[in-house]
Structure 1
Amino acid sequence: MTTFDEILIDQDPTQFHNDDIETIEIELVVLDMAGTTVKDDGVVERAFALAAERAGIVPAGPELDEALDYVRATMGQSKIDVFRALAGNDDDAERANDAFEDAYAEIATAEGVEAIAGAEDVLRELREGGVKIALTTGFSRRTCDILLDALGWRELVDVTLSPADAGRGRPFPDLPLTALLRTSVSRVDAVVVVGDTASDMLSGIAAGAGLVVGVLTGAHDEVTLRDAGADEVIDSIAGLPRLLGLDEA
């Protein structure tokens, strides 16, 4: 079983103090999907634009541009919550979310689903290291299942969670904490949370995860991730085993 050092953090969450160290056994890694383990390549934005057109909640032009800016800023959050904010009422939000899920499925079916380079190898390394794995998403269970089946990852992970499975989506702590409960992890600081958005970072921090890691293969840049509280930022999920010391195990 691999371990990481629990490092006491001063007021600046990106600055580590290396003189007060307790070795914590890593029990669970919580991984985001789109942008972290699964390539996005703008599919979320394209699906949103199609959904806005089909559901009629945002007209083309400046209003759509503003809505897309909001979608980018809230990447990682529950899609139904994003649509509630844009539509202003639950009925329109539900209709728009259904249209989004349809559009995403259409694009994924037409163009295929591809993993981030090295992601599957990381899943296998984590399992071989005795670490449990949770895949989480802001998508619905329907879209989550499309991605899992396309990639063939069901047997590689211990639990998969959408916001509806946990109670609330990001930036709330529900997804990591539900993953902890479902996998019978003994303590929150034995959990590592990894994602490509500020919402992923905020969710991990709110859950009390021992390590919150940002990756640069998705929606947000290093400054945004660190401003949201990331302990570490790596180029991609492929660098996670090295960060966690799995390559030394």
Structure 2
Amino acid sequence: MNVKKNNKVQLIVFDWAGTTVDYASSAPGTVFDRIFTLAGIHLTREEINGPMGMEKKAHIRELLSCESGNRQWQQTYGRPWNEDDVENLYEQFEEALYQVVVEYSSPIPGVVETVNGLKKQGLKIGSTTGYTSQMMEQVIPKAAAMGYSADCVVTPDVTGKSRPTPFMLFECMRQMNVYPPCTVVKVGDTALDMMEGKNGGAWSIGILKGSNLLGLTQQEYENMDQENLEKCKKEAAKRYREAGADIVIDSILDLPEAILEINRRLEKMEEAVK
């Protein structure tokens, strides 16, 4: 990283579902399960969650390409899946998600106070998502009414590329007039979020509580015994780091301290090049 003098974090780019709203990214997971079940394909929650963070049409291709999805499609339809099947499933997905997404747009506990605190410190708040701009027209007003808003929202249809490419992140930087990338932090709840940040030369932070990667609903999280919960968190943290995460935090409430840690690292890097 090329560090200029007195560099500090300027911009935090959040994901939406599973990071700032929609605990455990339940809306897309629920809808994927529904449309694939209607098509005669039965996938586990882990299989459905695997590609989470991608643009949704690409997510459908991944589900059809996985061993279970591909095998079941062949057994059910007697042929390989094709792009017409992807388009058909996506149309069903988009219609169903559009109907329910607003119900899943409540901020995750801790988000409103944490983000507002970061804004008061002068940090800019960007966001990227796997949702389309049309879907976000449903999400943004609901989240704002409950206290959470970002300074910019970038969707895959704006850039023509989704994660793990960094182009949505770059568009946030452009809109917010922030550079270099080492002063940007990507915060998310999937491996693809971590890759998006690292591919753009930014810092990446993974959140455990409420995340798609941890894969627990709020009720499951609260009811799980501590030993098993810690085991699940350890495995999720490992997957974040394998995807390039610089820091893994327990909840969004820990983000301000993580930002301070990144600023300390930037200061050490600056001293090293003097």
Question: What TM-score bracket applies, with the shorter chain setting the length?
Answer: 0.7 to 0.9
**Amino acid across the alignment from 1:233:** V
Counterpart of 2:23 in 1: which secondary structure?
Answer: coil
> Aligned-pair distance for 1:107?
3.0
- Identify the range of structure 1 (31-40 vs 96-105) with the bigger mean alpha-carbon deviation: 96-105
CA contact (8 A) 1:196 1:219 kept: yes
Counterpart check, 1:35 vs 2:18 = yes
Query: Equivalent residue for 2:219?
Result: none
Counterpart of 1:245 in 2: which secondary structure?
Answer: helix
Distance 2:148 2:106 in 1: 17
C-alpha RMSD over aligned residues:
2.7
**Amino acid across the alignment from 1:230:** A
Counterpart of 2:53 in 1: which secondary structure?
Answer: coil
Counterpart of 1:25 in 2: which secondary structure?
Answer: coil
Identical amino acids, percent of aligned pairs: 29
> Aligned-pair distance for 1:112?
4.9
198, 204, 212: which one aligns with 1:212 = 204
168, 188, 193: which one aligns with 2:181 = 188
> Aligned-pair distance for 1:79?
0.9
Query: Equivalent residue for 1:134?
Result: 126
Q: Give the TM-score taking structure 2 as reference length.
A: 0.72
Larger radius of gyration: 2
User: Where do 4+ consecutive residues of structure 1 move more than 6 Å?
Assistant: none
CA contact (8 A) 1:127 1:156 kept: no
Counterpart of 1:156 in 2: which secondary structure?
Answer: coil
Query: Equivalent residue for 1:72?
Result: 49
CA contact (8 A) 2:35 2:89 kept: yes
Query: Equivalent residue for 1:11?
Result: none
28, 38, 63: which one aligns with 1:44 = 28
> Aligned-pair distance for 1:125?
1.9
Distance 2:6 2:32 in 1: 44
Counterpart of 1:157 in 2: which secondary structure?
Answer: coil
Query: Equivalent residue for 1:148?
Result: 140
Q: Structure 2: which 5+ residue stretches go unaligned? A: 65-80, 214-235, 262-274
Deviations 1:106-131 (A, max 9, x none): 3335x453211111222222222221
Query: Equivalent residue for 2:231?
Result: none
Query: Equivalent residue for 2:241?
Result: 226
CA contact (8 A) 2:22 2:104 kept: no
Distance 1:225 1:23 in 2: 29
Deviations 1:47-80 (A, max 9, x none): 10222245x3xx24xxx226x5443111111111
Counterpart check, 1:243 vs 2:258 = yes
Q: Structure 1: which 5+ residue stretches go unaligned? A: 1-5, 9-19
CA contact (8 A) 2:189 2:212 kept: yes
- Identify the range of structure 1 (152-161 vs 211-220) with the bigger mean alpha-carbon deviation: 152-161
Q: Give the TM-score taking structure 1 as reference length.
A: 0.78
- Identify the range of structure 1 (197-206 vs 40-49) with the bigger mean alpha-carbon deviation: 40-49
**Amino acid across the alignment from 1:65:** L
Query: Equivalent residue for 2:109?
Result: 117
> Aligned-pair distance for 1:155?
8.4
By percentage of residues, which structure has more helix?
A: 2
